C-alpha cells in the first residue's frame, strides 16, 4: 500500500527469580488433590498465577508444548497500550480478561536496499504499519531479498495460539509489489486477491486494495508455544525514494491476539 506521511512503556519491574524449568514443573506435576472442591484445577491456578505480573524471560530451559499451556481467554491488541519508540522499535501490553498482562516488543530491520519512512510502526486504524522505502530502484517488482524488511514481535512470556492478520497486500504494475512471508505460521484464510506464489503471499491483481479490505489479506496462526514471531515484508519498488517518506509502501498487521499462556 502506498502511504501518505502521517503523524505518529512498559516497565521491567517484578522480575521472577524462580527458573522457568522450576515453574513449569509446578505447572504440570499432578497432585493427589488436583481439583479443588469448587472444581477449579490447581494446575490451571498455578499456570494463570504465573501470568499475574510482567516478567522477562531470556531463555526457556524446558521444552514447551501447547498441551502445557493454559487458556487465558482472548487478549487483543489495543493501540492504547502500544508505544512507538522509533522507526525501528515499539513496545506494548496485551491484556487478558482475567487481568493478566503480556508485554511485547516490536523491532524492525530494513533490507539492504530499503529504509524505513516516518510512518513505520505507527499504530492507526487498529493496526500497525509495516512499511519501508526503496532507496535503490528495483529492476522489477519480483521478489528480491535486498528489499525484504524483517519485523520481530517478542513476548515477555511463552504463549501459544497467537493469531493475526496482514491486510493491504497489493501491487501496481511497473511500480511496486508487496510480498509477505511469516515463517512457521499456519494460514487460516487467504483473501480473494492474494495467493501464495514462490513461498510469498502477494497480490494477484495489479491494483491497490483498501486498508481494511479482506480481499487483500491473509490470516496467520501460531498454535504452538513460542516467545517471538517474525513477519517478512518485501517491497521492491521501481522508483527510488526522492525524499522523506517518498514512495513508501506498507502492509498492516491487524487483530494481534493471544489465547494461551505457557
* pLDDT (0 to 100) of residue 26: 26
- Residue 252 or 9, more confident: 252
Question: Confidence class of residue 1 from pLDDT cuts 50, 70 and 90?
Answer: low
Predicted structure pTM score: 0.77
Instruction: Using the predicted structure, report yes or no on whether residue 32 has a pLDDT greater than 70.
Output: no
148-176, pLDDT tens digit by residue? 999 999 999 999 999 999 999 999 988 99
pLDDT of the residue at 18: 29
Name the residue with higher pLDDT: 42 or 198: 198
pLDDT of residue 242: 62
The CA–CA distances, whole Å, from 81 to 91, 136, 155, 258 equal 8, 35, 14, 15
Taking the C-alpha atoms of residue 256 and residue 230, their distance in angstroms, rounded to an integer, is 13
> How many angstroms separate the CA atoms of 134 and 117, rounded?
10
Residues 201 and 194: beta-carbon distance below 8 Å: yes
What is the arithmetic mean of pLDDT over 196-223? 94
Highest mean pLDDT out of 135-139, 221-225, 244-248: 221-225
Q: How far is 207 from 185, CA to CA, in rounded Å?
A: 27
pLDDT at 208 (0 to 100): 87
Q: Is the pLDDT of residue 30 over 50?
A: no
Q: According to the model, what pLDDT value does residue 50 have? A: 57
Per-residue pLDDT for 12 more than 90?
no
Instruction: Among 62-66, 85-89, 182-186, name the one with the lowest average pLDDT.
Output: 62-66
Statement: residue 64 has pLDDT above 90: no
Query: Does residue 184 sit in helix, strand or coil?
Result: coil
Would you state the pLDDT for residue 68?
79
Comparing 11-15, 116-120, 187-191, 237-241, the range with the smallest average pLDDT is 11-15
- Grid look-up 499456570 returns 47
The reported pLDDT for the residue numbered 51 is: 57
Collapsed DSSP state (helix, strand, coil) of residue 143? coil
Question: Cα(16)–Cα(61) distance, rounded to whole angstroms?
Answer: 14
DSSP character string of 1-38 = -B-----------S---S-HHHHHHHHH---TT-B-TT
Residue 94 has pLDDT above 90, yes or no: yes
**pLDDT exceeds cutoff 50 at 14:** no
Locate 192 and state its grid cell. 480473494
- Write the pLDDT tens digit of every residue in 102-145: 999 999 999 999 999 888 999 987 899 998 888 899 999 999 99
Please give the average per-residue pLDDT across 229-233, as a whole number: 98
Amino acid at each position: 500500500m502506498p502511504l501518505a506521511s502521517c503523524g505518529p512503556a512498559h516497565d521491567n519491574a517484578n522480575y521472577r527469580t524462580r527458573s522457568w524449568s522450576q515453574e513449569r514443573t509446578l505447572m504440570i506435576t499432578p497432585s493427589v488433590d488436583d481439583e479443588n472442591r469448587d472444581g477449579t484445577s490447581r494446575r490451571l491456578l498455578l499456570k494463570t498465577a504465573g501470568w499475574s505480573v510482567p516478567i522477562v524471560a531470556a531463555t526457556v530451559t524446558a521444552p514447551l508444548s501447547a498441551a502445557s499451556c493454559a487458556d487465558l481467554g482472548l487478549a487483543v491488541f489495543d493501540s492504547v497500550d502500544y508505544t512507538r519508540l522509533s522507526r525501528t522499535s515499539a513496545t506494548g501490553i496485551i491484556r487478558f480478561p482475567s487481568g493478566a498482562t503480556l508485554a511485547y516488543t516490536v523491532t524492525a530491520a530494513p533490507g539492504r536496499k530499503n529504509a524505513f519512512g516516518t510512518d513505520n510502526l505507527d499504530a492507526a486504524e487498529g493496526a500497525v504499519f509495516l512499511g519501508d522505502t526503496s532507496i535503490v530502484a528495483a529492476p522489477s517488482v519480483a521478489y528480491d531479498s535486498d528489499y525484504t524488511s524483517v519485523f520481530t514481535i517478542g513476548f515477555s512470556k511463552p504463549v501459544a495460539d497467537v493469531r493475526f492478520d496482514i491486510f493491504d497486500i497489493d501491487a501496481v504494475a511497473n511500480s511496486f509489489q508487496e510480498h509477505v512471508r511469516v515463517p512457521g505460521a499456519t494460514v487460516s484464510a487467504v483473501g480473494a486477491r492474494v495467493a501464495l506464489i514462490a513461498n510469498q503471499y502477494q497480490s494477484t491483481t495489479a491494483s491497490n486494495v483498501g486498508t481494511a479490505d479482506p480481499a487483500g489479506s491473509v490470516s496467520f496462526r501460531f498454535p504452538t508455544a513460542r516467545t517471538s514471531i517474525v513477519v517478512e515484508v518485501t517491497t521492491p519498488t521501481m522508483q527510488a525514494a526522492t525524499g522523506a517518506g517518498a514512495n513508501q509502501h506498507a502492509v498492516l498487521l491487524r487483530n494481534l491476539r493471544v489465547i494461551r499462556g505457557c
